[in-house]
């Protein structure tokens, strides 16, 4: 059996073809989507788990070196790794939220795959993370479909997170390919996520059209200007139908991070001063919640940063706020803060204001956030997303007949209104915000493997 595999920043999903139509397969209980998360007793548990409990070996000597390090570290910590010690999806998030201090938790590893300047051993660790998640999803889908999955078309953004341009893209795609091969996939192909979403929309067309696909995912926003319709449907070579692409590493996670930073970090000391009247350093409030930035996370949670945080606590005019920031450090609360920001963002799509409740130390904090304040907080990433729409149209030199919006963040009325302002005379349509990419990948898998 072959599948389309959307290994997403926020969620993952897979689909197979049933006759002429794609069918998403449940991958977490009865859910068709599984959050892109993993939890384990320690960081070193991932590599050992793959080898010991899944019989998945490293591909090269660097991978073997990482495995030996991991086994030794777990032995030193007296950790006897059990088969169910690696947890995925919503269960991983629940475990992390129940006791952040006692679990190694990763959200959206796809965001890190294009990061430049990483050591080879770090790249192998990311490969292990992705492999563990893919292996879990593949097993769940096989159990539900009662069939072995051999081949897959995996979606990829136009540009991955990373400042290396095509070097970042090649690195990220290579990690995904190696991880998929180790997880048991035979043939692996890739397709741009907005193109895949466009293929799903194309199946509904009775006439040829030029369509701008706007895919706003968790980690990236991608726009593809595509000729589609009956003339193109089912063709293995779509090169001539792809008019223009634009993409950038800005997505729903960035909206959540900016909202969290501007509206939820004041109780932790953002905007406060030292006793001498100096402003607290902004990076100490940005870095812990920049969950899609490896460098920022490393700097904040580095052992040497603890001394800086203690010094700021001692010098603060409002030391109780910096005590909460110290709790963010000790209990690795960055992910839970951004999760709260995401909840606020979603609520403000329908409400004029919402009260966010945060539990830190022994306190229950309540922070009221207005919709206008939320709109102002997310202006920077929103503007980048909208610029990509203009960029794709300018590159293509043609006005689309329709705009097809997909991706979880495309549900936002604020983003939809921004797109409509760029092309006010072009109708905006949408399908399954979460499943269009996956369904389109399954359609392309049929072209590749059937």
Lowest mean pLDDT among 145-149, 359-363, 416-420: 359-363
On the question of pLDDT at 164 being above 80, the answer is no
Q: Indicate the pLDDT class of residue 162, thresholds 50, 70 and 90.
A: low
**Window from 151-155, 236-240, 364-368, 435-439 with minimum mean pLDDT:** 236-240
Using only C-alpha atoms, the chain has a radius of gyration, in whole angstroms, of 22
Query: For the purposes of burial, counting CB atoms within 10 Å of the CB of 101, is it exposed (0-12), middle (13-18) or buried (19 or more)?
Result: exposed
Residues in contact with 401: Cβ distance below 8 Å, sequence separation at least 6, in sequence order: 209, 210, 211, 426
pLDDT attached to residue 111: 87
Q: The domain at 208-430 falls in which architecture? A: 2-Layer Sandwich (3.30)
Q: Judge residue 244's burial from the number of C-beta atoms within 10 Å of its C-beta, 0-12 exposed, 13-18 middle, 19 or more buried.
A: middle
Q: pLDDT: is 108 or 323 the higher one? A: 323
Strands 221-228 and 151-156: unpaired
What is the rounded average pLDDT for all residues in the chain? 94
Confidence of residue 293 (pLDDT cuts 50, 70, 90): confident
Domain extent listing, the chain:
2-186, 208-430
pLDDT digits 0-9 by tens, 191-228: 999 999 999 999 999 999 999 999 998 888 999 999 99
Over residues 403-444, the pLDDT tens digits come to 999 998 999 999 999 999 999 999 999 988 899 999 999 999
Bridge partners of 215, per DSSP, are 222, 406
Neighbours of 298 (CB within 10 A): 11
Strands 34-35 and 11-18, bridge-based pairing: antiparallel
Question: Does 162 or 248 have the greater pLDDT score?
Answer: 248
Residue 134 reports pLDDT greater than 70: yes
Angle made by CA atoms 401, 404, 408, in degrees to the nearest 5: 165
pLDDT recorded at residue 299: 95
User: pLDDT at residue 81 above 80?
Assistant: yes
For the stretch 221-271, pLDDT in tens is 999 999 999 999 888 888 899 999 998 889 999 999 999 999 999 999 999
CATH code for the part of the protein at 2-186: 3.30.420.40
Residue-wise pLDDT tens digits, 9-65: 999 999 999 999 999 999 999 999 999 999 999 999 999 999 999 999 999 999 999
pLDDT of residue 215: 93
Do 2-186 and 208-430 agree at the fold level?
A: yes
């Amino acid at each position: 059996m072959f599948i389309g595999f959307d290994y997403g920043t926020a969620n993952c999903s897979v689909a197979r073809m049933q006759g002429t139509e794609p069918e998403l397969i449940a991958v977490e209980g009865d859910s068709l989507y599984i959050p892109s998360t993993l939890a384990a007793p320690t960081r070193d548990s991932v590599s050992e788990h793959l080898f010991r409990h899944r019989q998945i070996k490293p591909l090269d000597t660097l991978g073997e070196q990482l495995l030996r390090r991991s086994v030794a570290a777990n032995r030193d910590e007296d950790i006897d790794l059990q088969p169910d010690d690696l947890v995925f999806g919503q269960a991983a998030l629940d475990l992390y939220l129940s006791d952040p201090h006692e679990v190694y938790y990763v959200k959206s590893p796809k965001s890190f795959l294009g990061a430049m300047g990483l050591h080879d051993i770090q790249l192998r660790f990311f490969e292990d993370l992705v492999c563990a998640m893919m292996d879990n999803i593949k097993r769940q889908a096989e159990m539900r479909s009662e069939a072995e999955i051999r081949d897959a078309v995996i979606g990829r953004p136009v540009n991955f997170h990373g400042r290396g341009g095509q070097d970042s893209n090649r690195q990220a795609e290579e990690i995904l390919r190696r991880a998929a091969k180790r997880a048991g996939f035979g043939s692996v192909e890739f397709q741009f996520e907005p193109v895949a979403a466009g293929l799903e929309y194309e199946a509904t067309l009775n006439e040829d059209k030029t369509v701008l696909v706007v895919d706003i995912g968790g980690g990236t926003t991608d726009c593809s200007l595509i000729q589609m319709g009956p003339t193109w449907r089912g063709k293995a070579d779509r090169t001539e139908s792809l008019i223009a692409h634009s993409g950038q590493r800005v997505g729903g996670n960035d909206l959540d991070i900016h909202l969290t930073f501007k509206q939820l970090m004041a109780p932790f000391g953002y905007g406060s001063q030292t006793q001498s009247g100096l402003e607290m350093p902004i990076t100490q409030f940005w870095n812990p919640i920049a969950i899609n930035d490896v460098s920022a996370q490393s700097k904040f949670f580095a052992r040497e940063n603890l001394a800086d945080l203690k010094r700021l606590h001692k010098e603060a005019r409002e030391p109780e706020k910096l005590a909460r920031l110290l709790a963010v450090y000790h209990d690795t609360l960055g992910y839970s803060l951004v999760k709260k920001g995401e909840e606020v963002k979603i609520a403000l799509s329908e409400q004029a204001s919402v009260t966010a409740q945060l539990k830190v130390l022994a306190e229950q904090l309540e922070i009221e956030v207005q919709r206008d304040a939320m709109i102002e907080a997310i202006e920077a990433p929103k503007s980048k997303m909208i610029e990509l729409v203009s960029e794709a149209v300018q590159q293509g030199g043609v006005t689309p007949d329709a705009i097809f919006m997909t991706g979880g963040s495309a549900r936002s009325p604020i983003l939809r209104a921004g797109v409509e302002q760029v092309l006010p005379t072009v109708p905006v349509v949408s399908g399954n915000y979460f499943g269009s990419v996956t369904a389109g990948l399954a359609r392309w898998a049929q072209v590749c493997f059937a």
